[in-house]
A and B are shown apart, each in its own frame.
Chain A
Amino acid sequence: MNVFTASTRAAAIAIGALLLSANAAADGKLAIKAGKVVQGPGMPEIDKGVILIENGRIAAIGADVKVPWDATVIDAPKLVAFPGFVEAHSARGMDRPNENIDPAAFLSVRDSIDPVNFYFEDSLRWGITTINIQQGNNCVIAGQGMVVRPMGITIDEMTVKTVSGVKLSATPKAGMSAATQAQALRKAFGDLQRYLEQLVQEKKDGNDRARREALFQGRDLEGENAKGRAMEGSAWKVAGLELIPRGEIDEKQVPLLALVEGKLPAFFYCGRPMDVHRALEVARDNGFLARTTLVISPACYKAADVIAEAGVPVVLEGPVVFTETDPLTGAETEIFVPGELKKKNVRFALSSANTTTESLWFQAAQCVGRGMTKTDAVASVTTIPAEILGLGKQVGSLEVGKAGNVLLFSGEPLSVTSWVEKVVIEGKEAYDRSKDVRVKHLMAGKAPANTQAMGGSASAEKKVVCCEGEDPAEHAKHLEAEAKKKDKGEGEDK
Chain B
Amino acid sequence: MLAIISLMTLGLHSGSTSMFHSASEDQATARSVLVRSEKLYVTPKRVIEGGALLIQDGVIVQIGRGLEAPEGARVIEGRVVCPGFIDAWSSFALEENAFEDDRVGRATRASDALDSYVDPRFEQQILGAGVTAYRVQPSAGARAGGLGAVVRLHPGKRADQSTLLADCCLAGGIGLARDGRAVDVFDRVGEIDRWIGALSDGQAYLEEQNEYRHELEEWQKKIAEKDKELDEAFKKAKKDREKAQTEAKDKGTEFKEKEYKEDKKPKAPRFDEDKAELARVASGELPLVLEVHRALEIRSLLEGTKRFTRLRLAIAGGTDALECAEELKARRIPVIVWPQPTVGGRPEEARVKGMGLAAALESAGVEVILGSGAAAGIGSRDLPLLAALAVGHGMQSEAALAAITTRPARMFDVSDKVGSLEVGRQADVVVFSGEPFAATTQVRFVISGGDLVVEGR
The answer, among B101, B119, B227, for a CB contact under 8 Å with A179, is B101
| Pairwise interchain contact A216-B237, C-beta atoms closer than 8 A | yes
- Which segment of B9-17, B80-88, B258-266 sits at the interface? B258-266
Query: Given A176-B101, A180-B104, A277-B160: A212 and B273 within 8 A (CB)?
Result: no
- Which segment of B34-42, B238-246, B282-290, B431-439 sits at the interface? B238-246
- Which segment of B105-113, B357-365, B367-375, B390-398 sits at the interface? B105-113
| Pairwise interchain contact A217-B104, C-beta atoms closer than 8 A | no
Q: How far is the CB of A323 from chain B (nearest CB, A)?
A: 16
Query: Given A194-B271, A217-B241, A302-B117: A183 and B260 within 8 A (CB)?
Result: no
Per the 8 Å Cβ criterion, residues 66-121 of B in contact with A are 95, 97-105, 107-110, 112-117, 119, 121
Query: Given A178-B98, A179-B109, A217-B257: A274 and B115 within 8 A (CB)?
Result: yes
| Pairwise interchain contact B102-A175, C-beta atoms closer than 8 A | yes
Per the 8 Å Cβ criterion, residues 207-222 of A in contact with B are 208-209, 212-213, 215-219
Interface residue? A205 (CB, 8 A): yes
Q: Which residues of B contact A219 (CB under 8 A)?
A: 238, 241, 257
Interface residue? B58 (CB, 8 A): no
The answer, among B138, B227, B240, for a CB contact under 8 Å with A212, is B227
Q: Which residues of B contact A187 (CB under 8 A)?
A: 273
Provide the bound-state CA to CA distance between A205 and B265, in Å. Answer: 8
A interface residues, tally (CB under 8 Å): 34
**Nearest-neighbor residue (CB-CB) of B241 within chain A:** A218
Q: Which residues of A contact B238 (CB under 8 A)?
A: 218-219
Interface residue? A273 (CB, 8 A): yes
Q: Which residues of A contact B227 (CB under 8 A)?
A: 212, 215
Q: Which residues of B contact A25 (CB under 8 A)?
A: none
Chain A proximity mask over B150-193: 1 for CB below 8 Å, otherwise 0 = 00000000111000000000000000000000000000000000
| Pairwise interchain contact A217-B112, C-beta atoms closer than 8 A | no
Interface residue? A223 (CB, 8 A): no
Provide the bound-state CA to CA distance between A274 and B94, in Å. Answer: 11
| Pairwise interchain contact B260-A212, C-beta atoms closer than 8 A | yes
| Pairwise interchain contact A178-B112, C-beta atoms closer than 8 A | yes
Q: Which residues of A contact B240 (CB under 8 A)?
A: 218
The answer, among B98, B117, B262, B273, for a CB contact under 8 Å with A177, is B98
Number of chain B interface residues as a range: 35 or more
Provide the bound-state CA to CA distance between A215 and B260, in Å. Answer: 10
Interface residue? B19 (CB, 8 A): no
Provide the bound-state CA to CA distance between A327 and B262, in Å. Answer: 70
Query: Given A178-B95, A180-B108, A328-B121: A217 and B101 within 8 A (CB)?
Result: no
Q: Which residues of A contact B116 (CB under 8 A)?
A: 273-274, 277
Query: Given A182-B112, A278-B112: A215 and B97 within 8 A (CB)?
Result: no
Q: Which residues of A contact B339 (CB under 8 A)?
A: none
Summarize A's interface: helix, strand, loop or mixed.
Answer: helix
Q: How far is the CB of A279 from chain B (nearest CB, A)?
A: 12
| Pairwise interchain contact A179-B239, C-beta atoms closer than 8 A | no
Interface residue? A413 (CB, 8 A): no
Q: How far is the CB of A272 from chain B (nearest CB, A)?
A: 8
The answer, among A179, A215, A273, A328, for a CB contact under 8 Å with B108, is A179
Provide the bound-state CA to CA distance between A272 and B109, in Å. Answer: 19
The answer, among B101, B115, B260, for a CB contact under 8 Å with A213, is B260
**Nearest-neighbor residue (CB-CB) of B242 within chain A:** A218
Provide the bound-state CA to CA distance between A213 and B99, in Å. Answer: 58
Interface residue? A41 (CB, 8 A): no
Provide the bound-state CA to CA distance between A205 and B146, in Å. Answer: 37
Provide the bound-state CA to CA distance between A277 and B161, in Å. Answer: 12
Provide the bound-state CA to CA distance between A178 and B112, in Å. Answer: 6
| Pairwise interchain contact B230-A212, C-beta atoms closer than 8 A | yes
Query: Given A172-B97, A177-B98, A205-B265: A215 and B107 within 8 A (CB)?
Result: no
Provide the bound-state CA to CA distance between A182 and B108, in Å. Answer: 8
**Nearest-neighbor residue (CB-CB) of B122 within chain A:** A327
| Pairwise interchain contact B237-A215, C-beta atoms closer than 8 A | yes
Q: Which residues of A contact B239 (CB under 8 A)?
A: 218
Q: Which residues of A contact B99 (CB under 8 A)?
A: 177
| Pairwise interchain contact B97-A178, C-beta atoms closer than 8 A | yes
Q: How far is the CB of B249 from chain A (nearest CB, A)?
A: 16
Per the 8 Å Cβ criterion, residues 261-287 of A in contact with B are 272-274, 277-278, 281
Q: Which residues of B contact A216 (CB under 8 A)?
A: 230, 237, 258, 260
| Pairwise interchain contact B101-A277, C-beta atoms closer than 8 A | no
| Pairwise interchain contact B102-A183, C-beta atoms closer than 8 A | no
Provide the bound-state CA to CA distance between A343 and B238, in Å. Answer: 77
Q: Which residues of B contact A306 (CB under 8 A)?
A: 158
Q: How far is the CB of B108 from chain A (nearest CB, A)?
A: 5
Provide the bound-state CA to CA distance between A217 and B234, in Å. Answer: 8
Q: How far is the CB of B74 from chain A (nearest CB, A)?
A: 29
| Pairwise interchain contact A182-B109, C-beta atoms closer than 8 A | yes
| Pairwise interchain contact B138-A179, C-beta atoms closer than 8 A | yes
Interface residue? B410 (CB, 8 A): no
**Nearest-neighbor residue (CB-CB) of A180 within chain B:** B103
Provide the bound-state CA to CA distance between A178 and B238, in Å. Answer: 63
The listed residue with most A CB atoms (<10 A of its CB), out of B110, B116, B138, B233, is: B116
Interface residue? B231 (CB, 8 A): yes
Q: How far is the CB of A333 from chain B (nearest CB, A)?
A: 13
Q: How far is the CB of A198 from chain B (nearest CB, A)?
A: 8
| Pairwise interchain contact A277-B237, C-beta atoms closer than 8 A | no
Q: How far is the CB of B167 from chain A (nearest CB, A)?
A: 12
Provide the bound-state CA to CA distance between A69 and B227, in Å. Answer: 81
| Pairwise interchain contact B95-A274, C-beta atoms closer than 8 A | yes
Q: Which residues of B contact A209 (CB under 8 A)?
A: 262
Provide the bound-state CA to CA distance between A303 and B115, in Å. Answer: 12
Q: How far is the CB of B139 from chain A (nearest CB, A)?
A: 8
| Pairwise interchain contact B104-A179, C-beta atoms closer than 8 A | yes
Provide the bound-state CA to CA distance between A215 and B232, in Å. Answer: 9
| Pairwise interchain contact A183-B107, C-beta atoms closer than 8 A | yes
Q: How far is the CB of A189 from chain B (nearest CB, A)?
A: 13
Provide the bound-state CA to CA distance between A212 and B265, in Å. Answer: 14
Q: How far is the CB of A103 from chain B (nearest CB, A)?
A: 14
Q: How far is the CB of A59 from chain B (nearest CB, A)?
A: 51
Interface residue? B457 (CB, 8 A): no
Provide the bound-state CA to CA distance between A278 and B115, in Å. Answer: 11
Q: Which residues of A contact B236 (CB under 8 A)?
A: 218
**Nearest-neighbor residue (CB-CB) of B234 within chain A:** A215
| Pairwise interchain contact A274-B265, C-beta atoms closer than 8 A | no
Q: Which residues of B contact A179 (CB under 8 A)?
A: 95, 98, 101, 104, 108-110, 112-113, 138, 146
Q: Which residues of B contact A172 (CB under 8 A)?
A: 97, 101
Q: Which residues of B contact A302 (CB under 8 A)?
A: 117
**Nearest-neighbor residue (CB-CB) of A303 within chain B:** B117
Chain B proximity mask over A1-37: 1 for CB below 8 Å, otherwise 0 = 0000000000000000000000000000000000000
Q: Which residues of B contact A194 (CB under 8 A)?
A: 271
**Nearest-neighbor residue (CB-CB) of A184 within chain B:** B103
Q: Which residues of B contact A273 (CB under 8 A)?
A: 116-117
Interface residue? B221 (CB, 8 A): no
Chain B proximity mask over A149-190: 1 for CB below 8 Å, otherwise 0 = 000000000000000000000001001111111110001001
Per the 8 Å Cβ criterion, residues 385-443 of A in contact with B are none
Chain A proximity mask over B287-323: 1 for CB below 8 Å, otherwise 0 = 0000000000000000000000000000000000000
Q: Which residues of B contact A217 (CB under 8 A)?
A: 237, 241, 257-258, 260
B contacts, CB < 8 Å to A: 95, 97-105, 107-110, 112-117, 119, 121, 138, 146, 158-160, 223, 226-227, 230-231, 233-234, 236-242, 257-258, 260, 262, 265, 271, 273
Taking A178-B113, A183-B112, A218-B239 as given, write out 8 further A-B residue pairs in contact, using a Cβ cutoff of 8 Å, ordered by the A residue number.
A175-B103, A177-B99, A182-B109, A215-B227, A215-B231, A219-B241, A272-B117, A281-B160
A contacts, CB < 8 Å to B: 172, 175-183, 187, 190, 194, 205, 208-209, 212-213, 215-219, 272-274, 277-278, 281, 302-303, 306, 327-328
The contact sample of 9 A-B pairs, CB cut-off 8 A, is: A178-B98, A178-B115, A212-B260, A213-B260, A215-B231, A217-B237, A218-B241, A218-B242, A274-B116
Closest 10 CB pairs of A and B: A218-B237, A182-B112, A218-B241, A177-B97, A177-B101, A179-B113, A215-B230, A177-B98, A213-B260, A218-B238
